[in-house]
Amino acid sequence: MFFSGGSQAQGQAQGQAGTCQDANEIAVLPAPIAPWKGAPLHVLFTAEKPFDGELSLVAPDGSVAVKSRERNGGPPYFWFVEVASPAAGTWHATLTRAGVSGDCATITRDIAVRETPPPPPHATPGSVWPVHSTWNRATENLYSAWIEKLFDAPLNVEPSWTALHEVIRDRSRNFLFDYLGLGEDQTGLIMRPDCADQPYFLRAYFAFKIGLPFAFSRCSRGGAGKPPKCYAWVNILNPSAGQPASSAAQPEGLASAQPQGFVIPQTGGLAASFNRYIPFLGDGVQSGNGRTAATDDNTDFYPVPLREDTLRPGTIYADPYGHVLMLVRRVPQAGGTAGVFLAVDAEPDGTVTRKRFWRGNFLFVHDPSLGSPGFKRFRPIVREANGSVRRLTNAEIAKDPDYGDFSTEQSQLATEDFYDRMDDVMSPQPLDPMRAMKEAITALEEQVQARVTAVENGRKFQNSGRGEATMPDGASIFATNGAWEDFATPARDFRLLIAIDVVRGYPDHFARRSDRYVIPRGKSVADVKAELQSVLASELSSRKFSYPRSDGSSWNLTLKDVVDRAPAFEMGYNLNDCVELRWGASEQSDEVSTCKRHAPSAQRAKMTEYRTWFHERHWPAHA
């Protein structure tokens, strides 16, 4: 149950709020779907445009149970309140707008709280879950707000989880926890996606809870100079077989192990159906789904323009080499601090981490065989009058008032232009060059800390007695399966090397784009560049971290060590090597004295052959 705009279908607006333009862009989501006194009551208000306001929840006896002035997001903007034990009766959720008088001052929705538990929702024959809502501006804004709250944490915190289901099961984060009243989040739901699966799992989860249509495409990975192409579309209303995406024959480069169809379980109800659908979904999608050509209509995603109002939580970023991230928050530029986009991704070992947008995490380059990288949104799915569903085309999205954001802008940008444009979107006003460089160093530091976890996971695998991991051949070192995919770090180290280049070259970047920065009075660009170089050296030397060596003892390094050891990271990704070598320890040093393990000579020979990819920062074809 959710209330959209001035609709009277499920809630009653007080006064004439529905006649106000901003009120028509309000969406309200009470949770659970059928509130009752035995379950916490959550209320979410979203708005397309920013305004100051206070959200209050008034109990049936007229007392204000809770209120909040905290406005999150942007866009969409949202307010959130909750009551742990609501009394039965009619509650009033009211958003009071500051500085506004008359009919537009308040927006109220009535919420009926039952005395007894509601009857559970039932399955719909032939569908994985019932569909009773539509994707539009209201549901998209609720989805974005849910994503932002799910991964919320202070900017100076680096949250991470060992699996996505840890986030989903956290009641303090997930206000859709047990939304359907089926105990659906307490039945052993497992979500351990890789980076390509994660956006689909989150979108499917939200659609399942709210009763929205959902589908995915079966796509190739691209190759032979051509981008990935999708050849079939599997939707939840007909999951047993995928309908052709077009009349084209199945393309080359088809991902292996494609699922043939989903059989809806006959027992266990909706929760069991969704739990079984998730692994089916994970087997059906891969990174090629995100890299389809920008102008292709038969895809799950469409590209958007680079603007702060289009880069919303839930927007994915598909890099050209197969990594996928999802935006979860925008932090606007304020008080001299640069603006930030935050995103989450899932690594092959299941780890989910939040990270900031910067060149070291978000790779961008154009190559016809790699497809169209960049920021993209899920393509809207609409239901026709006859009950069937379909995706909107790019032209329809461009004209739809609820969307209107299809754009091929990113496809027309060279690499440097893309990053310059993103700098302008994140921070429209000139930046303090020193502070901006320190934030880049912090981003590198976060990337290094994430690598500590990844390498430690590899050490634990070594100690598990499961034997030596097989090393793939050629470009497959970047995309395979098994222990190598889970615990080796070639893709992570490739990105780390680029991140090192970015930080090391920041003074030169400043000089190239000095118009983007505030130059202190009386100083030249050359003066500031020299100061940046001095502070860079100092910051790299002072920022320390530690990693567990082979024997479990801790060894301390600095970011300067990481930068100086960049050549060693060109061959530091093999989990069959000891962790000391993976961190670039030199032979005969005290640091390497605890090393007891080396990759086989045949694997070392392959790493030497492939080293040029890392040294030249050139991702190999077909990876």
Phi, psi of 193 (to 5 degrees): -80, 160
Give which of 570, 546, 527 is closest to 449, Cα–Cα.
546
Is the per-residue pLDDT at 114 higher than 80?
yes
Lowest mean pLDDT among 49-58, 249-258, 393-402, 492-501: 249-258
At residue 465 the predicted structure's pLDDT band, cuts being 50, 70 and 90, is confident
Is the per-residue pLDDT at 403 higher than 60?
yes
Rounded Cα gap, residues 227 and 371, in angstroms:
4
Rounded Cα gap, residues 436 and 448, in angstroms:
19
Q: Which residue has the higher pLDDT, 554 or 254?
A: 554
Phi, psi of 415 (to 5 degrees): -55, -50
Give which of 290, 267, 344 is closest to 313, Cα–Cα.
344
Is the per-residue pLDDT at 62 higher than 50?
yes
Give the distance between the most distant pair of CA atoms in the chain: 79
pLDDT in tens, 157-200: 889 999 999 999 999 999 999 999 999 998 788 999 999 999 99
Rounded Cα gap, residues 393 and 385, in angstroms:
18
Going by the DSSP 8-state scheme, the letter that residue 465 receives in this structure is T
Lowest mean pLDDT among 11-15, 456-460, 529-533, 563-567: 11-15
Give which of 308, 267, 303, 262 is closest to 284, Cα–Cα.
262
Average pLDDT over residues 245-251: 49
Rounded Cα gap, residues 471 and 562, in angstroms:
25
Average pLDDT over residues 269-274: 91
Rounded Cα gap, residues 152 and 574, in angstroms:
33
**Domains in the chain, please, with CATH?**
3-113 (2.60.40.1930), 121-429 (no CATH), 433-615 (no CATH)
Percent share of the chain, pLDDT over 90: 78
What's the pLDDT at 7? 36
> Residue 355 half-sphere exposure, CB side, CA atoms within 13 Å?
26
What's the pLDDT at 565? 98
Average pLDDT over residues 269-289: 94
Looking at the DSSP bridge assignments, the partners of residue 233 are 217, 243
What's the pLDDT at 131? 94
E-strand spans in 186-256?
Answer: 215-219, 230-235, 243-244
Say if pTM beats, i.e. exceeds, 0.75: yes
Phi, psi of 530 (to 5 degrees): -65, -40
Rounded Cα gap, residues 307 and 377, in angstroms:
13
pLDDT in tens, 419-429: 999 999 999 99
At residue 255 the predicted structure's pLDDT band, cuts being 50, 70 and 90, is very low
Percent share of the chain, pLDDT over 70: 92
**Contact assessment for residue 126 and residue 263, using Cβ atoms and an 8 Å cutoff:** no
Rounded to the nearest integer, the mean pLDDT of the chain is 91
Lowest mean pLDDT among 263-267, 268-272, 297-301, 528-532: 263-267
pLDDT in tens, 213-229: 999 999 998 877 889 99
At residue 11 the predicted structure's pLDDT band, cuts being 50, 70 and 90, is very low
Rounded Cα gap, residues 70 and 304, in angstroms:
29
Rounded Cα gap, residues 223 and 75, in angstroms:
37
Going by the DSSP 8-state scheme, the letter that residue 29 receives in this structure is E
pLDDT in tens, 483-541: 999 899 999 999 999 999 999 999 999 999 999 999 999 999 999 999 999 999 999 99
| Two structure tokens written together for 144 | 């974005």
Rounded Cα gap, residues 328 and 344, in angstroms:
7
Average pLDDT over residues 97-124: 90
At residue 102 the predicted structure's pLDDT band, cuts being 50, 70 and 90, is confident
